Amino acid sequence: MTEVELYDLWCKNAKDDSDLQDELLSIKNDEEAINDRFYRDLEFGTGGLRGVIGAGTNRINIYTVRRATQGFADYLNQEYSNPSVAISYDSRIKSDVFSMASAEVLAANGIKVYIYPELMPTPCLSFAVRRLNCQGGIMVTASHNPAKYNGYKVYGDDGCQITLRGANIILDKINSLDMFKDIKKSDFNEELAKGTISYIGDDVIEDFYKNVIAEGINTDLCASSGLKVVYTPLNGTGNKPVREILKRIGISDVTIVKEQENPDGNFPTCPYPNPEIREALELGLKYCNDVKPDLLLATDPDCDRVGIAVPDGDGYALFSGNEVGAMLLEYICSQRIAKGTMPENPIAVKTIVTTDIVNLIGKEYGVQIIDVLTGFKFIGEQIGFLEGKGETDRYVFGFEESYGYLSGSYVRDKDAVNASMLICEMAAYYRSQGITLLQARENMYKKYGVFYQTLYSFTFEGESGMNKMAELMTNLRENSPMEIGGLKVIRFDDYQTSVSKDLVNGTAIELVLPKSNVLAFFLEGGSKAIVRPSGTEPKIKVYLTAKCPTHEESAVLEQKLCADFTKFMK
């Protein structure tokens, strides 16, 4: 069907949401607007769906959610006998609507549904899948994207986001479905009365808290540390669980950023609620100027990422995800060894775009470092491999540069509740040693060298943007640069072809990770650049590492690397 024919079909059939009808009417005879909404189906990838909220096949709405859920239901009924699914949702616009719609489709397909009675973080969804022995899970969230976005993440029976195999089967089933004719649905309240849909109880939430607390190493130091914290949940799901955990470990001096305390999918004070960027923390930093805390914590809307800032002279310094993750790894390793709780043959897991300083930390403490593709599900997968061998205790920490951390095996996704606790505990411990977090970071760099990492995102909107992204990746793959930022490229890894080329001696080896549209350029002196298209946004992401003896030299080199990649992206 043409875009206009699809538009007419939606005008006739999309009657369950008045917002969609209003939007469709508003774009009548607007060829560009109609094309943008209907030129493709919203892509169901390995993470599920993510897109702009609105009308059309290329938007996330009650119909695209129902269709995805029907495909998921068909997959579950094919793979399992009497499957069940856990559902959670965040504070985003229509998250509650989409979660109820998902529950109604699952129930109509004979699948038992457990749903949280209020918004809850992503790690709580992963926990519920495992705790309730479900065969799948759905988390309605767009993580840290702007307010106009929402999303739908699908989980497997291990509490990880769905595998590549599962995602491909679900996609095939979705593609066979007519949006308006092939979807089974029921009434939420009727299914609730019948018991096909049940609310997840407080006992599950309490078990989650107990598992988080069990990951503490020096929590006994927190109550007497005098640590002062400013916390913002950025109008998301972290408000209750993070505050509860901090209370339980004895962090009582916590100031909440009031304007960002309660759930609000419009994110009025931080249009881009991503703790990776300074703009999202600006209001919290203003609080810091008045409160003078030892630490600012900021969790994203679905509370799986956390960013921090610490006192630095008259102001506050933001730490990157790479820095916090590396510091937590060193803290966990050093303290578990000191307390005699380090397992034999310990393992830490990081993604390929995460700082290589981790390799030096692992060597220092005898910890095996495993690299995986970008996406925390691959870290969770490694925990699953250990679980299959009865060796989950070997896992001590996993993290990715995008502010996601996890120290336990009780969930299989990043957990900002766990990370917030560990960060506060780490600060309390270093305070007991007369060291600030800022000093601890500098000590780490003195010990291992300066790894200066930055992330640049190049945006390409619409259909033409998708084509441009593909063209740029093909060009970098087929005509890869021999020099970047004045440094020679000594190795080139192409994860799509699974080939690693040593450009010094001309040899090549096979990469063992799954195929993925990722390119890595290794530069002389230990610097590096990794390029990949985002799986959830119309962006190409470039991860740069400038390795030099000092911060000043690293910053200069990073600008040279950035300048070259800016040229490559045109």
Which helix (H) or strand (E) element contains residue 168? helix 164-175
Instruction: Supply 231's token pair.
Output: 């916390």
Q: Give the whole-angstrom CA distance, residue 137 versus residue 365.
A: 36
* Residue 286: how many other CB atoms lie within 10 Å: 13
Of 84, 91, 143, 516, catalytic: 143
In which region does residue 28 sit, left (phi positive, over 0), alpha (psi from -120 to 50) or beta (all else)?
beta
Burial of 365 (0-12, 13-18, 19+ CB in 10 A): middle
Half-sphere exposure of 460 (CA within 13 A, CB side): 19
DSSP 517: S
Query: Which parts of 94-209 are beta strand (E)?
Result: 112-115, 136-140, 149-155, 197-199
Buried b (16+ CB within 10 A) or exposed e, 12-21: eebeebeebe
The answer to whether 255 touches 229, Cβ cutoff 8 Å, is yes
Strands (E), 186-320: 197-199, 228-232, 253-256, 295-299, 306-312, 315-319
In 36-156, the DSSP E strands lie at 49-52, 84-89, 112-115, 136-140, 149-155
Residues 49, 42 contacting (CB under 8 angstroms): yes
* Known catalytic membership, residue 143: yes
3-state secondary structure of 491: strand
Strand ranges in 337-390 using DSSP code E only, listed in sequence order: 347-351, 368-372
DSSP class of residue 298 equals E
E-state strands within 158-291: 197-199, 228-232, 253-256
The 3-class SS string of 10-54 reads HHHHCCCCHHHHHHHHHCCCCHHHHHHHHCCCCCCECCEEEEEEC
Which amino acids are annotated catalytic?
143
